[in-house]
Amino acid sequence: MSGRLYLDGVSVVFDGFRALNNLSLIIEPGELRAIIGPNGAGKTTMMDIITGKTRPTAGVVQFDDHDLTRLDEAAIANLGIGRKFQKPTVFDALTVFENLELALKSPRDPWSCLRWVLGPDYQRRIEATLAEIGLAERAGDKAAILSHGQRQWLEIGMLLMQEPQLLLVDEPVAGMTDQETEHTAALLRRIAGQRSVVVVEHDLEFVRALGSKVTVLCEGSVLSEGSIDHVQNDPRVIEVYLGR
Ligand SMILES: Nc1ncnc2c1ncn2[C@@H]1O[C@H](COP(=O)(O)OP(=O)(O)OP(=O)(O)O)[C@@H](O)[C@H]1O
Ligand SMILES: [Mg+2]
């Protein structure tokens, strides 16, 4: 499997303010990684750098042997790097199935329409995704009547239709019920493995449920890294983040 993300010495300076400061991080293919840290630590900026929305002031950002600092957002998406924003962009008037169908057709590259015409297996793929996101029973329902959590899963499903190799997810469980939060952790655990998944989240119960390696960002660089137990017991993490 390919899709190794490599950040080395990445800095981003906004008007003299260092949002990222010599950040180094490696995400292995198929890895699930949680990123935590105080407000303003640079978590979202890190995702902006990976997706080409923001350019680093210094440092290396590579996906396999692709230099992401030389590619625009569309080219980076074409490499198979998908991103989920907090606000879902599902179409209310369409059914769950139709939303996934639309995601399959919306081109990641100009040839995807052609593949769409040629590919007879789209129905099977949509069904597989419905099962993966736990919405098989809701396939015929309009997206408008889904709960907040279900809409978030549909959005993840729409990203999965594009077959990303790396999925970036920023604060997925904000506003979810406890049960939806648990379901989301299980979903992200399931979909990692076949692709890498990087999840930014403040909810530590959720991060624990992910069962993944955790990276703590602070002031734009890595403060601590390891299991949730390791970082929760790290005195530096307690001082700047958990102890507040
Ligand atoms: N485009 C920008 N221009 C200027 N400053 C920015 C820009 N984007 C982010 N910043 C600043 O960079 C710092 C890091 O912001 P970022 O959004 O990455 O933090 P975060 O870790 O995602 O925080 P939160 O947990 O609140 O989402 C903040 O101080 C923010 O104000
Ligand atoms: Mg953020």
Q: Is 95 helix (H, G, I), strand (E, B) or coil?
A: strand
Distance of CA 129 from the midpoint of ligand 2 (Å): 28
Look at residue 85 in the predicted model and tell me its pLDDT: 78
Q: Which helix (H) or strand (E) holds 83?
A: strand 81-84
d(CA 84, CA 66): 22
d(CA 235, ligand 1 centre) in Å: 25
Average pLDDT of 120-130? 87
pLDDT bracket for residue 123 (50, 70, 90) = confident
Task: List C-alpha distances in Å: 28 to 6, 11, 70.
Answer: 9, 21, 21
Nearest CA to ligand 1 atom 27: 39
Q: Read off the pLDDT of each residue in 212-230 and give the average, rounded to a whole number.
A: 97
Atom 10, ligand 1: residue with shortest CA distance: 19
Coil, strand, or helix at residue 224? strand
In angstroms, the CA 134 to CA 70 distance is 38
DSSP β-ladder status, 81-84 and 166-170: parallel
**Average model confidence (pLDDT) across the chain:** 92
Residue located nearest, by CA, to atom 16 of ligand 1: 42
The span from the CA of 233 to the CA of 34, in Å, is 16
How large is the angle between the packed helices 122-133 and 96-105, nearest 10 degrees?
120
User: Which residues form the pocket of ligand 1, taking CB atoms under 6 Å from any ligand atom?
Assistant: 14, 19, 37, 39-45
- For the purposes of burial, counting CB atoms within 10 Å of the CB of 25, is it exposed (0-12), middle (13-18) or buried (19 or more)? buried
The SS3 call for residue 137 is helix
How far is Cα 62 from Cα 50, in angstroms, rounded to an integer?
A: 8
Q: Is the pLDDT of residue 171 over 90?
A: yes
What pLDDT is recorded for position 195? 94
Q: pLDDT above 90 covers what percent of the chain?
A: 82
Q: pLDDT value at position 118?
A: 47
Q: How far is the CA of 35 from the centre of ligand 2 (A)?
A: 10
The band of 1, judged by pLDDT with boundaries at 50, 70 and 90, is confident
The crossing angle, in degrees rounded to 10, of helices 148-160 and 122-133 is 140
Mean pLDDT to the nearest integer, 30-36:
97
Residue nearest to atom 11 of ligand 1 (CA): 19
Kindly tell me if the per-residue pLDDT of 218 is higher than 90.
yes
Give Cβ neighbours of residue 244 (< 8 Å, ≥ 6 apart): 38
For 50-65, how does the pLDDT look when each residue is reduced to its tens digit (9 = 90+)? 999 999 999 999 999 9
